[in-house]
Amino acid sequence: MNMQGETYQPDPNRYDSTTYRRCGDSGLKLPPICLGCWHNFGDTTPLDRMQKLCTTAFDHGITHFDLADNYGPGPGAAERNMGIILRRCFSHHRQELVISTKAGYEMWPGPYGNLGSRKHLLSGLDQSLKRLGLDYVDIFYHHRPDPDTPLEETMGALAQAVTSGKALYLGLSNYDGPTMARAAAILTEMHVPFVINQNRYSIFDRTIEDNGLKQAVMKEKKGLITFSPLAQGLLTDRYLHGIPEDSRIRADGRFLKESALTPQRLKQIQDLNELARQRGQSLAEMALAWLLRDPAVTSVLIGASKPEQILDNLKAVQSADFSQEELGMIDRIALGKQS
């Protein structure tokens, strides 16, 4: 039931216009655009707004909702709220959804509430399933590397999540290339389905190119789903003329700081926006399309506070072709590279 007591009926044509992408060499397919719940799914957002985001996404072929145990505010809130939405709207559609979650950031006090120990990961997964009201998640990620726990222990915990039936597939988040390759070798030996990596990637943030992750993804034939594709809003028309008064920078500087919008960065945003205009796109559409044109990228995670933003972001799928000249221009603007 929805907030007004009416049964949600998904759009019967929801799969007609989406081409799903295989996750590496696995059998799992994901939509090119997925809905991330990092922002706007905590206890500061009205539940009916979150519900509308999810139903709008599903009505347009977005089958993947991405969470983590620490997403909020406060920690655990996004999973708890998603659990309510799943019961109200998707109880008859669970088999059509890919629900992912993660463990690895601090969730409770004491020595077991953080990072990558077997104790933390398996306890965290059990708590996530209770908040979500699910018997299993489709993808369970280790959220970040733990330098103090043997990689074999962390991977063994992930493997048990699958063998216990509490997760169907495994993922790694925020790993670099060499560490991911070592983890992949361990998980392959255990015969468990490690299929996807989740990392930050955008026109402005090329870390996965520099730390070998992108190259390792291709070599190991794993999927790659990217977050922060719009660089926390910098790759939109929101900052073309400086910082607006209602910007997230002013309201909450945890994720995007005012110092990030230097005169040089502002000029880059304006130049990229002009290129997008020439392509007949908004800057945000071009930034998403730039990722989706990459054969290494399986899917892109978007955040949204309004259903209209989801619909706007879906337009990027329709124009993900770039000429070599356009790609060169993007690199010259964003990185100062010379052709």
User: How does pLDDT run along the chain (339 residues), one tens digit per residue?
Assistant: 454 446 899 999 999 999 999 999 999 999 999 999 999 999 999 999 999 999 999 999 999 999 999 999 999 999 999 999 999 999 999 999 999 999 999 999 999 999 999 999 999 999 999 999 999 999 999 999 999 999 999 999 999 999 999 999 999 999 999 999 999 999 999 999 999 999 999 999 999 999 999 999 999 999 999 999 999 999 999 888 877 776 656 555 555 677 788 999 999 999 999 999 999 999 999 999 999 999 999 999 999 999 999 999 999 999 999 999 999 999 999 998 654
Neighbours of 111 (CB within 10 A): 9
Predicted model pTM: 0.94
For the record, the structure tokens of 262 come out as 């230097």
CA distance 175 to 142: 9
Cα separation values, 300 from 26, 58, 142, 149, 251, Å: 18, 16, 19, 30, 26
pLDDT for the residue 7: 86
Number of H helices, E strands in the chain: 12, 10
Cα separation values, 255 from 236, 252, 260, Å: 16, 7, 10
Burial annotation 57-93 (CB, 10 A radius, 16+ → b, else e): bbbbbbbbbbbbbbbbeebbbbbbbbbebbebbbeee
Cα separation values, 283 from 191, 208, 296, Å: 42, 22, 22
CA distance 50 to 37: 9
pLDDT for the residue 244: 76
pLDDT for the residue 271: 97
pLDDT for the residue 5: 45
Chain centroid to CA 245: 27
CA atoms 143, 149, 150, 155: torsion sign: negative
CA distance 323 to 65: 32
The verdict on residue 121 lying in a domain is yes
> Cβ distance 178 to 309 under 8 Å?
no
The verdict on residue 257 lying in a domain is no
The verdict on residue 28 lying in a domain is yes
CA distance 101 to 128: 8
The verdict on residue 272 lying in a domain is no
The verdict on residue 12 lying in a domain is no
The verdict on residue 246 lying in a domain is no
Three-class DSSP category at 314 = helix
Burial annotation 146-163 (CB, 10 A radius, 16+ → b, else e): beebebeebbbbbbbbbe
> Cβ distance 116 to 156 under 8 Å?
no
pLDDT for the residue 177: 98
The β-bridge partners of 197 are 172, 224
Output the domain CATH number for residue 174.
Answer: 3.20.20.100
The whole domain housing 317 covers: 21-240+282-323
CA atoms 110, 108, 192, 302: torsion sign: negative
> Cβ distance 325 to 316 under 8 Å?
no
Can you point out the beta strands (E) in the chain? 21-22, 29-30, 33-36, 64-66, 98-103, 137-142, 167-173, 194-200, 223-227, 299-302
CA distance 70 to 72: 6
Domain count, the chain: 1
